[in-house]
């Protein structure tokens, strides 16, 4: 478990870029993003401190991980706002691939989210696992993708950014069971930026286990 100042700064700079909005405007979506960004930096900072205490090599690359398939189910729009549909809840299903390669310590991810009203969000991005002990981990992530509202919430623009945190327990064999909170917004690229927050339970299983390897 190795974290560097440069990696923390990378996440911070990504956050700064996504939270820049139209001049003079402050959307509630920005506030939700800022809370996730602050929590993510706190998690990364805790990991850095832990590694410093343990004397780990802070420049070591990330450990090898298996290809995981993650399935999630939960609720979209869990944080009400003053939009016309601000208190409408949507059933949400997620399928996500967590690739076995590492970009330093970042894990590439790609997935799709679908609501029961036909909203679809396809995305790709990066996740960073921060372990606290042998089995508990918290994973900040950032992604970008395209959104189609269908019969669900209009997010104001097809290009949408997703940030979030997942807290999970890793079982022997690499399966993970966790609770994830994600925020999706367009970073003020559209005329409207209501944003949406999703809460899901995720099960991530190594691909080898799926095929009985």
122-151 confidence digits (pLDDT tens): 999 999 999 998 899 999 999 999 999 999
Q: Which of these, 204, 201, 200, lies nearest to 76 by C-alpha position?
A: 200
Specify the pLDDT at position 62: 77
Q: Which of these, 181, 173, 177, 178, lies nearest to 197 by C-alpha position?
A: 181
pLDDT digits (tens, 9 = 90+) for 3-18: 333 333 344 434 434 3
Q: Is the pLDDT of residue 22 over 50?
A: no
Q: Which of these, 124, 117, 68, 128, lies nearest to 93 by C-alpha position?
A: 117
3-state secondary structure of 35: helix
3-state secondary structure of 45: helix
Domain total for the chain?
Answer: 1
Provide the mean pLDDT of the chain.
Answer: 85
Max Cα separation, the chain? Answer: 55
**What sign results for the dihedral spanned by CA atoms 7, 12, 13, 15?**
positive
CA angle 182, 143, 119 (to 5 degrees): 65
Q: Is the pLDDT of residue 24 over 50?
A: no
3-state secondary structure of 126: strand
Residue 70 · residue 113 · CB < 8 Å = no
Q: Which helix (H) or strand (E) covers residue 160, if one does?
A: strand 159-170
Specify the pLDDT at position 28: 58
Specify the pLDDT at position 14: 44
Range of the structural domain that residue 66 is part of: 5-210
Q: Is the pLDDT of residue 99 over 90?
A: yes
Q: How far is CA 104 from CA 63, 119, 128, 165, 198, in A?
A: 9, 33, 10, 19, 28
Alpha-helical regions (H) of the chain = 5-19, 28-54, 207-210
Mean pLDDT of 68-94: 92
Tell me the pLDDT band of 2, cut-offs 50, 70 and 90.
Answer: very low
Question: pLDDT higher for 109 or 27?
Answer: 109
Q: Which of these, 200, 209, 212, 141, lies nearest to 175 by C-alpha position?
A: 209
Q: Which of 58-67, 115-124, 141-150, 160-169 has the lowest mean pLDDT?
A: 58-67
pLDDT digits (tens, 9 = 90+) for 179-213: 999 999 998 899 888 999 999 999 999 998 767 66
Question: pLDDT higher for 103 or 51?
Answer: 103
**φ, ψ for residue 107, nearest 5 deg:** -100, 120
Q: Is the pLDDT of residue 82 over 80?
A: no
Specify the pLDDT at position 29: 59
CATH code of the domain in which 144 resides: 2.40.160.20
The residue behind tokens 């609501």 is: 115
pLDDT > 90: percent of the chain: 60
Question: pLDDT higher for 31 or 167?
Answer: 167
Give the total residue count for the chain: 213
Specify the pLDDT at position 8: 38
Is the pTM higher than 0.75? The answer reads: yes
């Amino acid at each position: 478990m190795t974290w560097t100042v440069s990696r923390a700064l990378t996440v911070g700079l990504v956050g700064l870029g996504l939270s820049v909005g139209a001049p003079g405007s402050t959307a509630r979506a920005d506030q939700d993003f800022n809370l996730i960004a602050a929590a993510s930096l706190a998690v990364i900072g805790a990991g850095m401190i832990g590694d410093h205490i343990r004397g780990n090599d802070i420049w070591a690359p990330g450990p090898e991980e298996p290809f995981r398939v993650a399935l999630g189910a939960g609720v979209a729009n869990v944080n009400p706002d003053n939009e016309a549909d601000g208190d409408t809840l949507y059933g949400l299903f997620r399928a996500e691939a967590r690739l076995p390669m590492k970009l330093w310590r970042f894990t590439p991810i790609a997935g799709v989210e679908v609501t029961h009203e036909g909203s679809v969000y396809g995305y790709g991005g990066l996740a960073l696992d921060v372990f606290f002990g042998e089995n508990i981990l918290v994973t900040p992530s950032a992604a970008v993708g395209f959104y189609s509202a269908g019969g669900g919430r209009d997010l104001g623009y097809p290009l949408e950014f997703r940030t979030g945190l997942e807290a999970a327990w890793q079982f022997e064999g690499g399966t993970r069971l966790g609770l994830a909170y994600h925020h999706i917004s367009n970073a003020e690229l559209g005329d409207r930026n209501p944003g949406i927050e999703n809460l899901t339970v995720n099960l991530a299983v190594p691909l080898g286990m799926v095929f009985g390897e």
